Amino acid sequence: MAARVSEWLDERLGWRKVWEAIFLRKVPKTNWYYTLGSAALFLAVNQIVTGILLTIYYVPTPDHAYDSVQFITGQVPAGWLIRGLHHWGASAMVILVGLHMLRVIVHGSYKYPREVTWFTGVFLLLAVIGFGFTGYLLPWDQKAFWATIVGTRIAAVTPLIGDWILRVMRGGDELSAVTLARFFGVHVWVLPAALLSLILVHLYLVIRIGISALPKRGE
């Protein structure tokens, strides 16, 4: 039965070719460090699923943000688990993406013909850091508030346009309801859209070009 359904679908969708291209492609001899990208991908999925779940209760306004987060961790069944996974997943993601980047450097995998894969990777790193920065404000507790005061001040030391950057980030001179709302918007709309498009291109290139073989001594 299952075989007939998949046959019927394959005739119309051609999904088997896609499956083979992704999962049954030939790869050179690799080592465990080659799994770091997939580990980052796994965490990205975790962040998306738990993040969507958090928005079911979270409200991004100064009068509700803190209370709604307390409600999630204290009252909602498994709320502590969902928030915990998202919270720790965020840190783990930065670490894994960093390690993945190191492996690409150490193996020299950024060289021709994989420069564009590297460039999309650089933007992926920026997106992951952006997630961390905007997400940190959302619980709207003291730590969140002061960390964002500091973070936006750091941006303000940029020569010439620093003050302007600070005002754009905060949506005004002070950290306010406007700041919280725009950080939320960037965190749940702008960055996920960017991350997903970048991952798509990144993985397309990984599959199209094929992953690099381990470099040999003297190469």
> SS3 of 123, please?
helix
Residue 35 beta carbon to another protein: minimum distance, rounded to whole angstroms = 12
Residue 31 or 75: the one with the smaller Cβ distance to ligand HEM is 31
Alpha-carbon distances, residue 118 vs 41, 45, 69, 142, 198 (angstroms): 16, 21, 37, 37, 11
Report how far apart the first and last C-alpha atoms of the chain are (Å, whole number): 52
Residue 96 beta carbon to ligand HEM: minimum distance, rounded to whole angstroms = 8
- Site residues (CB under 6 A) for ligand HEM, limited to 10-39: 34, 36-38
Binding letters toward ligand HEM, positions 77-96, x by CB under 6 A? --------------------
Closest CA to 90 of 42, 139, 121, 44: 44
Query: Which partner from the list ligand HEM, another protein, none does 56 bind, CB cut-off 5 to 8 Å by kind?
Result: another protein
Binding letters toward another protein, positions 51-80, x by CB under 8 A? --x--xx------x--xx-xx---xxxxx-
For the record, the structure tokens of 69 come out as 């987060």
Residue 115 beta carbon to ligand HEM: minimum distance, rounded to whole angstroms = 8
Q: Does 181 bind ligand HEM (CB under 6 A)?
A: no
Residue 201: how many CA atoms within 13 Å on its side-chain side? Answer: 16
Q: Does 48 bind ligand HEM (CB under 6 A)?
A: no
Query: Which partner from the list ligand HEM, another protein, none does 57 bind, CB cut-off 5 to 8 Å by kind?
Result: another protein
Burial pattern 155-174, b for ≥16 Cβ within 10 A else e, equals bbeeeeeeeeebeebbbeee
Residue 207: how many CA atoms within 13 Å on its side-chain side? Answer: 15
User: Which distant-in-sequence residues (6+ apart) come within 8 Å of 46 by Cβ?
Assistant: 85, 86, 89
Residue 65: how many CA atoms within 13 Å on its side-chain side? Answer: 21
Q: Does 139 bind another protein (CB under 8 A)?
A: no
Give contact residues for another protein (rule: CB under 8 A): 46, 49-50, 53, 56-57, 64, 67-68, 70-71, 75-79, 81-82, 85
Give contact residues for ligand HEM (rule: CB under 6 A): 34, 36-38, 40-41, 44, 97, 100-101, 104, 109-110, 114, 117-118, 121-122, 124-125, 128, 199, 202, 206, 211-212
